[in-house]
Amino acid sequence: MLYGHLLSLAVCLAAPAAAAPSWANRCTIVPSKGDASDSPAIAEAFTKCADNSEIIFPAGVEYKIYEPLVAKLNNVIIKVQGNLTLPQDIPAMQSLVEAKGGTLTWFQIGGTNVQWIGSSDPHAGWIKSHGQAWWDLNQPGQAGTPNRPHLMQFNVQNGVMKHMKSLKPIGWNFSIKGKNITISDTVIDARSSSSAFPFNTDGFDVGAKDVTITNSNIFNGDDAIAINDGANNVVFKHATIGFETHGMSVGSLGSKVASVADVQNIRFEDVTVKGGLYAARFKSWIGGQGLAKNITWSNIRVDNVTFPIFVTQTYFNQASAGGDRPNNSSVMMEDFTWEHFSGNINTYSPGDGSCTSDPCWYNVGLTNLTHTEAVIIECNTEKSCKNFQTRDIKVHPQSKSESKLICMNAMPDLNPQLGFDCKNGTFASTL
């Protein structure tokens, strides 16, 4: 059932927290009886312990989060030692999302000096969303079941997220907004146990400033991390990503024609990509505008990846309108570096289950594609890409044939350290 009729209790003890004297209160969530929702008790705790507090989900408890939650907190640590489970009534959840205009986030955590600390126990601290049932409902030709909720928005100033775990998310996992946020030891498991594809199971969508994300394990069916408009000073490092991942993406940028995108100072470092469609990816919309600057992918290992390095400035989303937008502007790209790549290209079974069209959305515009391409760079104009650099790219087809290259409009006068001749053919380093 989606709505519980019995309220559970939140025990709020006015006592100093031993580990941190600045916390004045502690709220321990007592679980409900039977199938009643725990959301009311948690909402009460978020109110009573909104300032200078600990909020504790004890170990050994499966909390039922049957209604969405919103918290505005100040100097609060949330300790999740138990597990949190979302409802399994898909039509009721879809009705909630539809009532919100098609967009609903199940957990909205905001405020200042907020920490979400999960459990180091591999069996505890999970958010269980039961997404497999949603994936299995997807109809042929659809890019995801309609009216799916997003899991969490973490919009804080001075935030910490540690040992966050997400099992079978319905769709999008963690939207990161705000400033000065440290995230570590995240596990996201969106691997499908059937032939159904886990559409839109983005790991992190980051539109924040001063963010460091380390030690992630993300297995999903969309971007492991997507850098969104407004992101600045973001580091993603020491990670393993895979399954049907769409890799480490900047974008998509420029989706709103009247908006000017701004993304700067992004670094992806020391990442292993174990299967997936993309590894290092930039995508901006045809007809978009703005600037993406100072972005680096370094020390990236790929295994069975279709497109190791991929840039497009003429992106459109197969699930929405946009293919007929005027091509009259571009999100400018400046100071991009790809260095120290190694591994193999998925030559024998390229692509993934996100394909809902013929040709597949990820092959559109790529004539004579052989799936031996180590690098694909599609600049929209001769002036839209500046100061591109590549170094030490050692990525080879599984077929043992030569690595190929597709390159358009990365002009040598604007990109003197590009590292190869911008043309279609064999990939050969010139540096």
**Cβ-count burial 181-218 (b if 16+ within 10 Å, e if not):** bebebbbbbbbbeeebbbbbbbbbbbbbbbbebbebbb
Strand ranges in 139-222 using DSSP code E only, listed in sequence order: 150-162, 165-167, 174-184, 187-189, 204-206, 209-214, 217-220
Q: How far apart are CA 127 and CA 207, in angstroms?
A: 22
Cross-strand pairs, 258: none
Which one of the listed residues 38, 202, 205, 222 is annotated catalytic? Answer: 222
134: enclosing H helix or E strand: helix 131-137
| Pick from 366, 257, 212: nearest CA to 225 | 212
Specify whether 222 is catalytic. Answer: yes
Q: How far apart are CA 397 and CA 370, in angstroms?
A: 10
96: enclosing H helix or E strand: helix 90-99
| Pick from 213, 218, 162, 154: nearest CA to 187 | 218
Which one of the listed residues 163, 246, 371, 396 is annotated catalytic? Answer: 246
**CA of 368: how far to CAs of 85, 177, 207, 371, 420, in Å?**
47, 40, 36, 9, 20
Residues designated as active site = 222, 246
